[in-house]
Structures are given as structure tokens and as C-alpha cells.
């Protein structure tokens, strides 16, 4: 029997039957999920984190599933453990089962079917089903080595991956793509739509940015115009000389030397050194007085 056919048969079982099948297929765990002593110390508030047991078989491409996830939500989450006072019995090796990615996903489908849906739906919809599509349809290869091993362990080609997810969705009374072609076509259209939406947002952003830039430029020009008008009201003699608020200190000192200080200082450098402590506003006022009297 091929892997895909085995997954179909597993999906047709009850949750208890699937657990029994997987226990026979992979064997039971030899270790508890958490250290019992550490678990109790955590529950007593003595430590912040629980020490995990040596249960993992990710090196073989297998996940570890809590059998009692059909009863309790997030059974291995430390926050939920403390908030819901989850007993250690759920963490014992006898309550663990191994499975590959597809089998793990099927277990969550069976939980949704047989128990309050939220117990299996979070893992299925948010984590497991998207991972199948990403790994086998999009052909994404994860970076962590253990994930690569898990991906290879339950490897399906893209058509098989689509068909098994379709079977899972139908088992939950949901609709999915009729054929692998429909799946790929829908994904292609969705990508095109997203691309168009991104392009439209970019175009609008550019329009708004350009409009904003022009508005800012107009405001700045208006401010500069008012500043120039105020500047020439204060210093009317400067307009004909081409002196403006941005005129450099060097030019102001050169003009002062030319109109007033050429007899008092040997050169412009001496005048520049002498006027170094003087702020620019004072230079402007003095130069304007000089021009008014010239």
C-alpha cells in the first residue's frame, strides 16, 4: 500500500482507531513528555520552565502528539498548563503517540470531528494544513534540519498533497478545490490579485507622495517669500545689493571691509578674525547701517 492510500485509510478511522494504529506502527514512547519532578515544581511556582523528557523522535521525521488533546486544549503549553491546572497524567509516556506530518494533521481532523472543534482546529487551520501546502505544493524547504527530515518522512507530490487536504476538508464538511488544477489556478489568480493590489497601493502612495511633495514645496516657497519680504522690510538697502538671508558671513565681511574697514585693517582676513565673535544678525545690522550712510 502506498503512503497516500494509507493516509486515506487513516482518515476514515475514528480517533481511537487512529491512535491504536499509530501506536502499533511506531511503538509507544519510552519517556514522559515532561519530567514529573520538574512539572510539580513548576505547578508549585518554584521554577519558571518545565524540563522536557527525552521523548522526541524528530530525527526520524516524527512528531509527538498528546493523545488527550481530544480532551484538553494546548496540553503542552506551559501557560495553559498552569492556568488550567492540567494534571501530569496527560504528559505520561502512555498518553503520547508518534506520527508524521500528514498523520498528525489527520489526528487533528478527527479531533475536530469528534470533540469540540476548537480542540483540534487551532493546530489544523493555523499550523498543520498550511504546512502541508507550503512544503509539498509550494515546494518550500524549511531551514531547520529536523523539519527537513519531517518533510521528507511524509513526502507527497503536489497533486497528492492537494488531494489529501481536499479529503480532510471534505471530512470536516468543508469545500476545497475540486482538482489539483483548480488549486493551482486559484493560487495563481490570488497571486495575480495580490500583485495588482500591491501595484495599486504603490501607485496611490506615489500619487499622494507627489501631491504632498508639491504641497510642501508650495508652503515652503510661500514661507520663504514672506521671510524675504520681512527681511527687505527690515533691511531695504540689501535688495539692490543682492543680499538675502542666506548670504554667507564671508560675503558680509567682505562688503564691510569694502565699505568701512579697508583703512582700519590690513586685509579681509584680519577683519574676519576681529569679527569672529559677532553673530550674523549683528553683521547684517552693521552692514545695513553702513550702506544707509554711504
Task: Tell me what the mean pLDDT of segment 255-261 comes to.
Answer: 89
pLDDT, tens only, 196-216: 888 888 888 888 888 888 888
pLDDT, tens only, 29-63: 999 999 999 999 999 999 999 999 999 999 999 99
Residue 62 CA neighbour count, 13 Å, CB half: 17
Residue-level pLDDT at 241: 86
Residue-level pLDDT at 218: 87
178 pLDDT tier (thresholds 50, 70, 90): low
Position 182 pLDDT exceeds 80: no
**200-211: burial string, b at 16+ Cβ within 10 Å, e else:** eeeeeeeeeeee
Segment of 85-99, 182-196, 199-213, 218-232 carrying the highest mean pLDDT? 85-99
Residue-level pLDDT at 204: 86
Position 240 pLDDT exceeds 70: yes
Position 118 pLDDT exceeds 90: no
Task: Tell me what the mean pLDDT of segment 11-33 comes to.
Answer: 97
* Burial group, residue 266, by CB count within 10 angstroms (0-12, 13-18, 19+): exposed
Task: Tell me what the mean pLDDT of segment 89-115 comes to.
Answer: 97
Taking a C-beta distance cutoff of 8 angstroms, is the pair 118, 73 a contact? Answer: yes
Evaluate the CA torsion angle 52, 105, 156, 7 in order and state its sign.
positive
1 pLDDT tier (thresholds 50, 70, 90): low
Amino acid at each position: 500500500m502506498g503512503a497516500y492510500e494509507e493516509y486515506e485509510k487513516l482518515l476514515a478511522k475514528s480517533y481511537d482507531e487512529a491512535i491504536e494504529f499509530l501506536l502499533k506502527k511506531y511503538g509507544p514512547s519510552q519517556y514522559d513528555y515532561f519530567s514529573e519532578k520538574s512539572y510539580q515544581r513548576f505547578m508549585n511556582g518554584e521554577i519558571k520552565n518545565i524540563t522536557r523528557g527525552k521523548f522526541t523522535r524528530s530525527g526520524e521525521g516524527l512528531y509527538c502528539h498528546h493523545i488527550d488533546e481530544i480532551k484538553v486544549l494546548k496540553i503542552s503549553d506551559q501557560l495553559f498548563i498552569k492556568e488550567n491546572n492540567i494534571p501530569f497524567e496527560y504528559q505520561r509516556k502512555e498518553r503520547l503517540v508518534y506520527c508524521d506530518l500528514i498523520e498528525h494533521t489527520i489526528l487533528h481532523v478527527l479531533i475536530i470531528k469528534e470533540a469540540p472543534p476548537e480542540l483540534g482546529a487551532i493546530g489544523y487551520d493555523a499550523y498543520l494544513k498550511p504546512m502541508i501546502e507550503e512544503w509539498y505544493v509550494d515546494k518550500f524547504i524549511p531551514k531547520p534540519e529536523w523539519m527537513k527530515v519531517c518533510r521528507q518522512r511524509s513526502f507527497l507530490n503536489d497533486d497528492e498533497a492537494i488531494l489529501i487536504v481536499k479529503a480532510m476538508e471534505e471530512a470536516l464538511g468543508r469545500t476545497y478545490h475540486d482538482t489539483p488544477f483548480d488549486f493551482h489556478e486559484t493560487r495563481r489568480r490570488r497571486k495575480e490579485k495580490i500583485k495588482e493590489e500591491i501595484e495599486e497601493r504603490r501607485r496611490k502612495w506615489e500619487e499622494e507622495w507627489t501631491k504632498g511633495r508639491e504641497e510642501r514645496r508650495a508652503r515652503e516657497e510661500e514661507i520663504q517669500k514672506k521671510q524675504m519680504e520681512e527681511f527687505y522690510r527690515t533691511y531695504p538697502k540689501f535688495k539692490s545689493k543682492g543680499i538675502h538671508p542666506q548670504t554667507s558671513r564671508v560675503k558680509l565681511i567682505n562688503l564691510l571691509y569694502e565699505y568701512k574697514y579697508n583703512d582700519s585693517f590690513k586685509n579681509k582676513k584680519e577683519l574676519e578674525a576681529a569679527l569672529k565673535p559677532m553673530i550674523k544678525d549683528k553683521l547684517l545690522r552693521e552692514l545695513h547701517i553702513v550702506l544707509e550712510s554711504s
